[in-house]
Amino acid sequence: GQQVMQIPQYQHVQEGEDFTTYCNSSTTLSNIQWYKQRPGGHPVFLIQLVKSGEVKKQKRLTFQFGEAKKNSSLHITATQTTDVGTYFCAGPSSGGYQKVTFGIGTKLQVIP
């Protein structure tokens, strides 16, 4: 079945450094979603990308969808301690829009 692979699994950065997490699918995705889970919390939807090559920004966060719609990235500029958490990408499972498959997540630690 369709899988969504995410790397790295863990990332430690100094506050102020940039951070990027990557998401790759074995099949073309109709869309990709990104979620953030703070420690002790539940995943919260951040954004959805639909178009090939799409780039969206939310303040210091930049989301990109690959031209082939098989990969995506989330880049955080100048990390802050509030960015700590696990970032998940998610894409529709093969066969339709219905079920969404989550990547394993990238756990970000920001060292003050």
Partner 1 sequence: GAGVSQSPSNKVTEKGKDVELRCDPISGHTALYWYRQSLGQGLEFLIYFQGNSAPDKSGLPSDRFSAERTGGSVSTLTIQRTQQEDSAVYLCASSLVGGNEQYFGPGTRLTVT
Residues that bind partner 1 (CB under 8 A): 30-31, 33, 35, 41-45, 48, 88, 90, 92, 96-105, 107
Q: Rounded to whole angstroms, how far apart are CA atoms 89 and 5?
A: 9
- Minimum distance from CB of 35 to partner 1 (Å)? 8
- Minimum distance from CB of 97 to partner 1 (Å)? 3
The residue among 37 and 77 lying less far from partner 1, judged by its C-beta, is 37
The residue among 17 and 104 lying less far from partner 1, judged by its C-beta, is 104
Angle at 52 between CA 20 and CA 62, to 5 degrees: 30
- Minimum distance from CB of 22 to partner 1 (Å)? 15
The residue among 62 and 102 lying less far from partner 1, judged by its C-beta, is 102
Q: Give the phi and the psi of residue 13 in degrees, each rounded to 5.
A: -135, 155
- Minimum distance from CB of 78 to partner 1 (Å)? 26
Q: How far is CA 91 from CA 35, 49, 65, 101, 110, in A?
A: 11, 10, 12, 5, 27
Name 27's bridge partners.
none
